[in-house]
Amino acid sequence: MKKTFREFHGKIMLFGEYSILEGSPAALIPYAKVNAQLGFPLHEPNPDAIQSNRTLKSLSGYLHQNPEKCNLLDLHDLENDLAAGLYMESDIPQNRGLGSSGAICAALFDAYTSENNKNFTHCELRKQLADLESYFHGTSSGVDPLCIYLNEPVIIHRDEYYLPDKSWLTQNNKVRPFLVDTGKASQTKPLVHHFREQMKENIFAGKFLQHYNPLVELAVHQWKIGELEEKTLFALSEAQLEFLEAMIPKKELNIWNYGISCRLYVLKLCGSGGGGMILGFTDNPDATKTCFREKFGIRIQLI
């Protein structure tokens, strides 16, 4: 019988970049404008399908060498399908912070783990998915593939999980999120390594934990109850300039600072940074779209 595979959406991390590695909460939402799905080529595979198949084969080889990362996956079944041309059909842009690697991990777990082995708590599932995603990033919190796998907004704090109602969240929070594409690919692994090295410095680590993490926690709480405040977002944006400036692309710094000064919109990282997407918030989407188009020559993508 021909296999069928689930379709998975992308994701957006609203709050929690880097700080989740140091115990802060994180909030993520599915992003249904981009999608990915495993499949087999119907005709001669195109270059994208060939490259995807190679990536999956490389991941399979990694899992063979690190069996502790995949004790629930049927690697024999996966390898047979890879030999038959299995690939990921995806319009989730790679290295843009929208979950391209998380979607691969969610799809593989869904397709190659037996139903008998899927009865996990959210904490256990996150650990399984984090192990898979470590192939791509070296270190993974597992939150991206978890949000993608569940296809639900999710708030995570340590080992506690809360799945808010989708419609309630969009109806209550007055600020509208949007995306800015930097046009540059981002590389998560070196940026995470840089952050880890910074956290080894006592002065930086102390300030980060005392000042930055509480801001993230406040933003997550306000978003959860539908009362996300602009002053919280601006404080978070300024704190990212202080603690995570190395992750902000240089050419976007003037756009970032302009938002802080004009108070029309506010920007923050969307994922690990270094390129990819930047996340913005505004309570005036029309004026913000006009501002970006006329002042910066950029079209923003409302979420």
Phi-psi map region of 297: left, alpha, beta (phi>0 left; psi -120 to 50 alpha):
left
> Could you tell me whether strands 277-282 and 265-269 are parallel, antiparallel, or unpaired per DSSP bridges?
antiparallel
Question: pTM for the whole thing?
Answer: 0.88
Closest C-alpha to 215, from 13, 12, 17:
17
pLDDT for 1 equals 52
| pLDDT digit string, tens, across residues 109-126 | 999 998 877 778 888 888
Long-range contacts for 109-112 (Cβ within 8 Å, ≥24 apart)? Answer: 109/72, 109/73, 109/145, 109/149, 110/5, 110/6, 110/8, 110/149, 111/3, 111/5, 111/6, 111/38, 112/73, 112/74, 112/75, 112/77, 112/78
pLDDT for 189 equals 82
Q: ∠ at Cα 80 (76, 86), nearest 5°?
A: 120
**Beta pairing partners, 38:** 88
- Asked if residue 88 lies in contact with residue 104, where contact means CB atoms within 8 angstroms, the answer is yes
Closest C-alpha to 69, from 117, 2, 127:
127
Coil vs helix vs strand at 152: coil
Closest C-alpha to 59, from 147, 146, 145, 149:
145
How many Å apart are CA 83 and CA 41, to the nearest integer?
Answer: 12
| pLDDT digit string, tens, across residues 46-83 | 899 999 999 999 999 999 898 888 778 899 999 999 99
How many Å apart are CA 186 and CA 272, to the nearest integer?
Answer: 8
- Asked if residue 137 lies in contact with residue 101, where contact means CB atoms within 8 angstroms, the answer is yes
Using the CB atoms, write b or e for 254-273: b if 16+ within 10 Å.
ebbeebeeeebbbbbbbbbb
Residues of the chain with pLDDT under 50: none
The two three-digit tokens of residue 302, written as one number: 């409302």
How many Å apart are CA 261 and CA 282, to the nearest integer?
Answer: 14
Domains of the chain are: 7-162 (3.30.230.10), 174-302 (3.30.70.890)
> Which burial class, exposed, middle or buried, applies to 47 when counting CB atoms under 10 A from its CB (0-12, 13-18, 19+)?
exposed
H/E segment holding residue 134: helix 122-137
Give the largest Cα separation in the chain, rounded.
60
